[in-house]
Amino acid sequence: MGNAEKFDWVRGFTCDFDLVNGLSKTAESTKRYLSQMKGMYADDAAFDKMLEGGDDPLVYEFYEMGAPELPGDLAFGTSITYPGKVGDEYFMTKGHFHTILDTGEVYYCLSGHGYMLLESPEGDWSLQEMKAGEAVYVPKRYAHRSINIGDTPLVTFFVFRGDAGHDYGTIETKGYRNLVVEKGGKAVAVPNPKWGE
Ligand SMILES: O=P(O)(O)OC[C@H]1O[C@H](O)[C@H](O)[C@@H](O)[C@@H]1O
Ligand SMILES: [Fe+2]
């Protein structure tokens, strides 16, 4: 049974999410493995090398609860980005704009340490730090991507309008203007050499 049928979107329901690892015993997660992110990391050689050995690490997983795609409904769940790097670039989600660009989103960090990378179509961008107990507001119009800069899973709980939709196209073709890499033991933002390609 899929998540949409499991839950009563008309009369209400509850669902568990672990405070530390973010996982649910009831809902089923959607998983994204490294092989599904080809071209998204700056270092293609490091990316290919990681997959050569036959190992395809789980980079992140999240819950699609099956909220009705209507303006009055709310999509919510946890998103878990695992620790790791491709070359010196930290593991991250694909990131997306909302199809209805004018819809925001809230993320509350349950555990781990990382950043939310925000970028508007006009190129305004920022990094919002995420650590347990901090909530991040993703304003309407901004693409958003979670980046794990720690050694433990970065776990967030998110809520957004049910009809917002995901637009991956722009990020998949152009990328973000900046990446977050480890330099001298520190996480720093650097310009993305592949941007706009
Ligand atoms: O959609 P991605 O960029 O692959 O990230 C995965 C997921 O992360 C977050 O938790 C969002 O709220 C989800 O809507 C999203 O689908
Ligand atoms: Fe979103």
The three-class DSSP label of residue 81 is strand
Q: What angle is formed at CA 56 by the lines to CA 22 and CA 63, rounded to 5 degrees?
A: 25
Residue 36 pLDDT: 98
Nearest-angstrom CA–CA distance, 6 and 15: 10
Residue 45 pLDDT: 97
Tell me how far the alpha carbon of residue 166 lies from the centroid of ligand 1, in angstroms: 8
Which residue among 62, 110, 161, 170 has the greatest number of ligand 1 atoms within 8 angstroms of its CB, and so is best to mutate?
62
Residue 53 pLDDT: 85
Arithmetic mean of pLDDT over the chain: 97
Average pLDDT (154-179) is 96
Which has the higher per-residue pLDDT, 133 or 170? 133
Which residue among 115, 138, 158 has the greatest number of ligand 1 atoms within 8 angstroms of its CB, and so is best to mutate?
158
Average pLDDT (68-72) is 97
- Pocket (CB within 6 angstroms of ligand 1): 62, 79, 93-96, 158, 166
Residue 81 pLDDT: 99
H or E stretch covering 119: strand 113-119
Look at ligand 1, atom 15, and give the residue with the nearest C-alpha: 62
pLDDT at residue 44 is higher than 90: yes
pLDDT band at 129 (very low <50, low <70, confident <90, very high): very high
Q: For residue range 172-192, list pLDDT tens digits in order.
A: 999 999 999 999 999 999 999
Residue 43 pLDDT: 97
pLDDT at residue 1 is higher than 90: no
Look at ligand 1, atom 1, and give the residue with the nearest C-alpha: 95
